[in-house]
Structure 1
Amino acid sequence: MDDFSGIDGFFGTRASLAMDLMVLVMALVTVALVWSVYQVKVRRRFGLHRRVQIPLGLGLLVAVVLFELDVRLNGWEERAAGVVGGEASGVVWTALAVHLVFAVFSVLLWPVVIVRAVRNFGSPPQPGGHSAWHRRWAPVAAVGMILTAVTSWVFYAVAFVG
């Protein structure tokens, strides 16, 4: 592997360890999110859904902060540079821009949905007055998070694979 800033990743691409870990984290978050939504929508296991969503949100927050620190300290462009003619291509920047739209949307909405649910559902959580708001915005937040994951994988592929 070339001599880049930061620690090389484990997928065998040009990406850093932090990039590879976020690819893995987003896969785990997506699976856990879909499973948790299934638990509440189909099986009506409200308490389990809460016990999954709160640590999932906190864990993702920690992962994103650590990832952003690594990106700020070590950058990413140098690692992506070799993909197209010595600098990150327009495709790479476009993929990043699309990803950031969903990522920023998700990082703003998901905590609102979680905090409002914690504050407005009882303990143990049961459907109530907050349910209509939650049924409207929680799916939007979940789809936003899944699109954040998918667009992060697209960015990763065009920037670091190959």
Structure 2
Amino acid sequence: MNRPPIVIIGYGNPSRGDDAVGPLLIEELEQEERAIHSPSDYELITDFQLQIEHVTDLEERNLLLFIDASLSAKPPFEFSRLTPEQDHSYTSHSLTPATLLSIFETVFKQPSAPAYLLKIPGYQFDLGMPLSQKSSHHLKQAKHFIYTLIKDPRQEAWEHQL
């Protein structure tokens, strides 16, 4: 299998206001990628939530990036390194990125690629709400940050951004 070395997974519920920032950011990246008609070194994936099936999306990668909305993230976004850790989410239908990494390591009997989490502040998560202006502004800043990351797809470069 010949896969792009980076996978970027944005998750959240597009029907719940600012919870949509992950999928919306992926959508914007996809539109720009199509506009320049250029093959990329990354694969973009979006979903409502992380599930056990996503372990296959982590296979044969060099770097992993998860994007999610957060009530506690400081503006304009927080970027952190993830470590595999089995938390309470491993028994539910929705997993945290750390638990997904832990499951990957159990299933494939190897360490996961270096993984990072980009948390974008969210302020309104009610059903049917639109994306808030504040989260929309943070999303734009996060998109520019992602372009900085994918411009230099080396772990050392990503670590330098922490």
Q: TM-score, normalised by structure 2?
A: 0.31
| Bigger Rg over Cα | 1
- Which structure is higher in helix share? 1
